[in-house]
Chains A and B, each alone.
Chain A
Amino acid sequence: MSTATHKLLKGATGDWEMVIGMEIHAQVTSNSKLFSGASTAFGGEPNTHVSLVDAAMPGMLPVINEECVRQAVRTGLGLNAKINLRSVFDRKNYFYPDSPQGYQISQYKSPIVGEGEVTLELDGGRTATVGIERLHLEQDAGKLLHDQSPTMSYVDFNRCGVALMEIVSKPDIRDAEQAKAYVTKLRSILRYLGTCDGDMEKGNLRADVNVSVRKPGGPLGTRCEIKNMNSINFIGQAIEYEARRQIEILEDGGEIEQETRLYDPNKGETRSMRSKEEAHDYRYFPDPDLLPLEFSQSFVDLLKAELPELPDQKKARFVADFGLSAYDASVLVAERESAVFYETVLDRLANRARDGKVAANWVINELFGRLNKEGGDIAGSPVTSEQLAAIVDLIGEGTISGKIAKDLFEIVWQEGGDPRALVESRGMKQVTDLSAIEKVVDDIIAANPDKVAQVKDKPQALGWFVGQVMKSSGGKANPQAVNDLLKSKLGV
């Protein structure tokens, strides 16, 4: 169910609507594999993280890794989904050298997690809701290496048996923007939960995208599945291309063939991989080596109680507690690291209630703005949360002005150092002592009788005096104090 307006594609016969559903494969964060004790560490020498079970030696049996079960339940809770206290592992049978057992252990009819939903953040503050159909646990496959020998293919089983969560959405997504927002949001939730690192470059999060088109509100069209996408941008491009391809066929009087396709990012097009007829018969049946997976409601409740705050909750809290705009709050919570940084700044502030919003502006505009410009990320920020909190404190307590603060930020970015000490040593302190400012004010009033006359008629002209005073104080005068003093002296 989508509540936002979405993009329609124009064709020769009028508008077309896209109907998109996704299967996300997310690698579970765990030390060992789904059914064996072998390490899940990335980047080991080939076949160094392989147990007898992973290699499917004769007589070996799978034993469920309880941490992977906990991670799946946590994820289900994070997706506001129904947790099934009883689920079943099935065998998906097929021959391929990356699958040593000759079958993948997966969950077919009874998944561990049932229906849930995710709220998407779209441009302009719009939101959309995407339903989750199910989440199930399954084994990852090994990796074929085709470049090691001229005549043979080699296989690396390090990844074989690592736990994956397959998260299946309902066909609720209506355009490429929503599809991208969906993956972004799901990835964010997984990273908050710590159940998947979301590293798409390493293939730890990949998506199969089902695309069909129809006349708005009409019956569903035949879908094509675009396999194994591991970039959010490519997902958007692939959907646009695929929808246009289908519209062209339909408008030419053709029919869409249900098939599996691959996206070629270099050519910007999707290509047929296999047709429905070539699809495997996986001969699913319950894995007789594993009992049904059963746990109690209290097991779920315990995990629920320990669940971290998720982006939607955090956003609501930022808005309520610090008066942040919904947009600013979304920017801060989108990435777990950004939210953590902001919250660390908050923790270090002398007066959170007063300066929380100013701190948000500084994190978003100055820090993120600068990081974006320099192509860095929050982990490599030269300005620490402690330094930024000190700068915000200095502004809040009136020690420096916002303008001076920007200079101070620049110094901290370039050279580092304790902002409070820098303000002292470099004489950047704001002058709030009225007697010190008074002389300057008196001098300027005396030197500019014409302006004085002007301001009596037009009080807005006071700004000119403030500017003059600030200029001659080297920016260190407290603007509020200058303002008040001028008003009383000029009688406006």
Chain B
Amino acid sequence: MTDLTSLTLAEARKGLAAKTFTSLELTDAHLSAMEAARVLNAFVMETPDQARAMAREADAEIAKGDAGPLAGIPLGIKDLFATKGVRTTACSKILGNFVPTYESTITSQLWRDGAVMLGKLNNDEFAMGSSNETSCFGPVGNPWRRDGSNTTLVPGGSSGGSASAVAALLCMGATATDTGGSIRQPAAFTATVGIKPTYGRCSRWGVVAFASSLDQAGPIARSVRDAAILLRSMAGHDPKDTTSVDIAVPDYEASIGKSVKGMKIGIPKEYRLDGMPAEIEKLWSEGAAWLRSAGAELVEVSLPHTKYALPAYYIVAPAEASSNLARYDGVRYGLREQGRNIIEMYENTRAEGFGAEVKRRVMIGTYVLSAGYYDAYYLRAQKVRTLIKKDFEDCFAKGVDAILTPATPSAAFGIGEKGGADPVEMYLNDIFTVTVNMAGLPGIAVPAGKDAQGLPLGLQLIGRPFDEGTLFSLGEVIEQAAGRFTPVRWW
């Protein structure tokens, strides 16, 4: 039955509807794959009993003929999403064995549409990281290796578990979140498709917050079509999240195969970094050529404030995080380390519960919001953010439909290779993706090729607000031209 795991979600949907196989068979195939792939450490919690129960329910619904759009499709859920009755930790020691009594809006919508939960996926602690090395459950392995090498590489982060599990065919799709690139960068590192929707497209209710004004959930999937199918179920207005936007969710799948003829695609000159690897440069040109041959018009555009995006991001995101993480204080839930008084209890709990990267960001955030520094840092970063947003608006106002950039400045790297001495080395991974979060725009990462060592590389398309449909159309053009990439199984 293992061949069932190699289907795309769209193919599996067809097979389930045709009763070629059942959801239980499909689910069992994935549960076996998960068991065999524990070395990847993609799942931090497997929920086989729940998965089978949900699969049986889906099978019953399919038999009755009133199945939802995701009926019987086994998915993995990033551990940042609260799942009722199932441990949710954000991969931080500070949440301990926290079991929510509530279900996040996004996962509720997936279950409403018939999806099956396989378990909870690893991620960087509180989604802070670009390599999935900051998780309290340890790093995740990338199913991809360099040609002829045994070195285990990172899958990217923070949605490393989601990307790894989808790439290794452990689940048909996964939920993920993206604050500065946490969906698109791991998707690029694992040859999967990841879309960060427009800020406000998906509800943040029940998703553990990192930086509220930047966080946005989206899917990581095996194909552009799969991503479109998943996003349709995940998206939608939620009265419980006032930053979610009340705009009807379109049938994204209808965008697949739509002609891109006459679309104007911007190539931002500021993304051509000094010392950019030639193979990234080549991939970018290739992507542009594919879109041109599909009938799109390529134009050079300017996003002049790009270079300020990363520094401004590393002020805004930690500032919000320092406040968002204040609730993990040992008083009501999660870890508590005793102390002689309340202050000491706070100190001991937070010292023990948070990892180094989280502590670093909480401290940076606390600093930039402090009296006397607020204007110089936080306020100025917000001004930069406005300028970055305006860069994009000016660009779209000139008739540009989408912007094409590389997804990452390099391919996946080895565990422990980066960011040891200088955290900025790790932060640079998000150089092409953070601008999109700062501007609140949708961005998709699509696999586009491999580097000289055989590692996947991705391209990013950035769209107008709430125009995810165009990204799916363009993304599929790249996917068709580049083909699909599957790692050779070593685990």
Contacts and interface: CB of A to CB of B under 8 A. Distances in A.
A100 B240 contact: no
Given A64-B242, A93-B326, A288-B213, A59 B366 contact: no
Q: Is chain B's binding surface mostly helix, strand, loop or mixed? A: loop
Interface string B201-220: 00011111101110000000
Interface in A248-291: 281, 283-285, 288-291
B241 interface: yes
Contacts of B140: none
Contact of B370 (A55, A59, A281): A281
Give the contact-size bracket for chain B: 35 or more
B374 interface: yes
Interface stretch (B16-24, B31-39, B329-337, B423-431): B329-337
Contacts of B331: 97, 100, 155
B102 A52 contact: yes
Contacts of A153: 342
Contacts, number: 97
B205 A61 contact: yes
B285 interface: no
A59 B80 CA distance: 9
Interface in B63-105: 81-82, 88, 90, 95, 98, 100-102, 104
B82 A58 contact: yes
A281 B371 contact: yes
A326 interface: no
Given A57-B100, A102-B329, A63 B204 contact: no
B221 to A, nearest CB: 23
B369 interface: yes
Interface centre among A52, A58, A60, A155 (most CB of B within 10 A): A58
B327 interface: yes
Contacts of B100: 57-59
B88 A58 contact: yes
A285 B323 contact: yes
Interface in B170-211: 204-209, 211
A61 B213 CA distance: 12
A241 interface: no
A56 B329 CA distance: 11
A364 to B, nearest CB: 50
A153 to B, nearest CB: 8
Interface in B230-265: 239-243
B207 A95 contact: no
Contacts of A91: 323
A192 B106 CA distance: 45
A479 to B, nearest CB: 71
B385 to A, nearest CB: 12
Given A95-B346, A102-B323, A58 B242 contact: no
A490 B31 CA distance: 120
B207 A59 contact: yes
Contacts of A342: none
A61 B327 contact: no
Given A52-B102, A291-B243, A103 B323 contact: yes
Contacts of A62: 242
B342 A97 contact: yes
B323 A59 contact: no
A378 B452 CA distance: 90
Interface in B306-326: 319-320, 322-323, 325-326
Give the contact-size bracket for chain A: 20 to 34
Given A52-B102, A58-B88, A59-B104, A285 B327 contact: no
B374 A285 contact: yes
A195 interface: no
Contacts of B327: 56, 58, 100-102
B378 interface: yes
Given A57-B102, A281-B370, A63 B240 contact: yes
Contact of A63 (B82, B206, B239, B333): B239
Interface string A64-104: 10000000000000000000000000010101010011110
Nearest to A56: B327
Interface centre among A57, A97, A283, A291 (most CB of B within 10 A): A283
Interface in A120-167: 153, 155
A7 to B, nearest CB: 37
A291 B204 CA distance: 14
Given A59-B82, A61-B204, A62-B242, 8 more contacts: A52-B101, A58-B88, A58-B95, A59-B204, A61-B241, A283-B369, A288-B212, A290-B242
Interface of A: 52, 55-64, 91, 93, 95, 97, 100-103, 153, 155, 281, 283-285, 288-291
25 contacts: A52-B101, A52-B102, A57-B82, A58-B82, A58-B327, A59-B82, A59-B204, A59-B205, A59-B207, A59-B208, A61-B205, A61-B240, A61-B242, A97-B329, A100-B331, A101-B326, A102-B326, A102-B327, A153-B342, A283-B369, A283-B371, A285-B323, A289-B242, A289-B243, A291-B242
Sort A-B residue pairs by CB-CB distance and give the 9 closest, nearest first. A102-B326, A288-B212, A283-B369, A288-B213, A56-B327, A59-B206, A58-B208, A281-B371, A59-B82
